[in-house]
Amino acid sequence: MGLMQLINAGKKRFTMVDVISDEIAMFALAFLIAKYWIGVTSLAWYWYVIIGIVFVIKPVMAMLKK
């Protein structure tokens, strides 16, 4: 079993509190990266929109497929 299958198998057992905790941890990690990598926070607003759209395409497609 590969690492990604192991992680996905573990996430299937998450409760709502676990999911929220995971999301908050990722949010905090994003703030940490933004704090120490100044280049990220100096981008124009539309770059954030483009990045957001690119990364939301796959989850939305998977959600609509089921």
Per-residue confidence (pLDDT) for residue 49, from 0 to 100: 93
Residue 55 has pLDDT above 80, yes or no: yes
Per-residue confidence (pLDDT) for residue 41, from 0 to 100: 84
- Tell me the average pLDDT of the chain: 84
Element (H, E) at 2: none
> Total structural domains in the chain?
1
**Structural domain that includes position 16:** 3-65
Residues 19, 14, 26: CA angle, nearest 5 degrees: 30
Q: Give me the percent of the chain exceeding a pLDDT of 90.
A: 26
Does pTM top 0.85 for this prediction?
no
Confidence of residue 7 (pLDDT cuts 50, 70, 90): low
C-beta neighbour count of 3 within 10 angstroms: 7
